[in-house]
């Protein structure tokens, strides 16, 4: 049974760095083809993909946010960590992590997200 | 970047109706398109991958079709539990559509 759960601060101040952790079970990030992605959703708005890391440490980022994002994995702990720098109130959103099996080629990633965490709401406010 | 246009943004239908949502890509994306369902306060759920493949456990009243630039998501007979927002997603930068909020008439 695959499960994922996001953890991190619920409130951050503008300009601060956000660090979110996705802790998962039921799969290994050392298995060929496996990946974990981060997706966010501002209140009442659409989903936005942020970042993706694969079993072989291939990392991909949303072009519009690439300069602010870092994704890493700790295979031994079954965790994926996302950091986002210079937080702004417009970054207020529910942040999800999700499992995929796929690959990236050039600028495209075959990555249907088939298992999702419950999401964590992050509010950016002073 | 490839842009996705999802329509309509909202839809009201009766139980038993056939419901159709479309996504149009600005460039040929082959069949690299997924469909998700998101119920209020819940995480999205993958329904269809690669444009037409039904995810395991998803009821057969859901279906997807299309390739190239034009894609369609269909609910053959709307059920009360299908009330949700539906999103398409393509593989170029993993972009999601703007969503279609489906309500019961």
Distance CA A109, CA A40 (A): 18
Distance CA B83, CA B14 (A): 11
Residues in chain B: 105
Q: Which one-letter DSSP state was computed for residue A50? A: E
Of A48, A107, A118, the CB nearest to B43: A118
> What does R_g of chain A's alpha carbons equal in angstroms?
14
Using a CB-CB cut-off of 8 Å, the residues of chain A touching B9 are none
- pLDDT tens for B39-94 read 999 999 999 999 999 999 999 999 999 999 999 999 999 999 999 999 999 998 89
- pLDDT tens for A9-24 read 999 999 999 999 999 9
Using a CB-CB cut-off of 8 Å, the residues of chain B touching A43 are none
Take residue B72 and report the two structure tokens written for it.
């369609």
Per-residue pLDDT at A104: 85
Are A116 and B45 inside 8 Å of each other by CB? yes
Given a contact cutoff of 8 angstroms between Cβ atoms, the answer to whether B51 and B69 are in contact is: no
pLDDT beyond 90 at B99: yes
Of A110, A113, A117, the CB nearest to B46: A113
Return the number of other C-beta atoms located less than 10 Å from residue B105's C-beta.
Answer: 9
Using a CB-CB cut-off of 8 Å, the residues of chain A touching B45 are 116
Query: Which residues of chain B have a Cβ shorter than 8 Å from any chain A Cβ?
Result: 1, 32, 34, 36, 38, 43-46, 49-50, 55, 87, 89, 91-99
Q: Which one-letter DSSP state was computed for residue A61? A: E
């Amino acid at each position: 049974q695959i499960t994922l759960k996001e953890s991190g601060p619920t409130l951050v101040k503008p300009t601060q760095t956000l660090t979110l952790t996705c802790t998962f079970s039921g799969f290994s990030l050392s298995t060929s083809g496996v990946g974990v992605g981060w997706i966010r959703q501002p209140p009442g708005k659409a989903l936005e993909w942020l970042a993706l890391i694969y079993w072989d440490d291939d990392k991909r980022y949303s072009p519009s946010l690439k300069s602010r994002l870092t994704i890493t994995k700790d295979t031994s702990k079954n965790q994926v960590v996302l950091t986002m720098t210079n937080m702004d109130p417009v970054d207020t959103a529910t942040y999800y992590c999700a499992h995929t099996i796929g690959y990236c080629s050039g600028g495209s990633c075959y990555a249907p997200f088939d298992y999702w965490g419950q999401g964590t709401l992050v509010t950016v406010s002073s | 970047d490839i842009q996705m246009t999802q329509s309509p943004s909202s839809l009201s239908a009766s139980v038993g109706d056939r419901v159709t949502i479309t996504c149009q890509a600005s460039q040929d994306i082959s069949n690299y398109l997924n469909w998700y369902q998101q119920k209020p306060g819940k995480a999205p759920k993958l329904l269809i991958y690669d444009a037409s493949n039904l995810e395991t456990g998803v009821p057969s009243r859901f279906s997807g079709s299309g390739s190239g630039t034009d894609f369609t998501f269909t609910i053959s007979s709307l059920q009360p539990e299908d009330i949700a927002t539906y999103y398409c997603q393509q593989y170029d930068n993993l972009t999601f559509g703007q969503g279609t909020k489906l309500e019961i008439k």
